[in-house]
Structures are given as C-alpha cells and as structure tokens.
Amino acid sequence: FALASFNLQLTAGSKGINEYQIQKSRILTSLTKLLREGSKKASDY
C-alpha cells in the first residue's frame, strides 16, 4: 500500500516537473521573440 501511494506521488511529481519544463521553455521562447522584436525596433531608429 505504501509503495503504491509512493509511486503515485512520484509520477505526479515528475508530471509536475514536465509541466514546469514545458512552461519554462514556452516563456523562454516568447521572451526571446520579444527581445528580437525589441532589438529590431531599436535598430530602426
């Protein structure tokens, strides 16, 4: 019983980590996109 609940917690934890990694990569890509657009606008002036 204890092992089963432990395994459940483990999978839930790794799932959370995966979600976090996905969100992090999304944020990073959007940030780099914004930075690129910002630098483009800055170089236009």
Q: So what's the pLDDT on residue 1?
A: 55
Find, among 1, 20, 23, the residue nearest to 9 by Cα. Answer: 1
State pTM to two decimals. 0.54
Q: So what's the pLDDT on residue 29?
A: 93
Q: So what's the pLDDT on residue 33?
A: 93
Find, among 11, 34, 12, the residue nearest to 42 by Cα. Answer: 34
- Please, which pLDDT band fits residue 45 given cuts at 50, 70 and 90? low
> For 6-35, what is each residue's pLDDT tens digit?
666 666 777 777 888 889 999 999 999 999
DSSP string, the chain: -HHHHHHHHHHHHHHHHHHHHHHHHHHHHHHHHHHHHHHHHHHH-
Q: So what's the pLDDT on residue 44?
A: 73
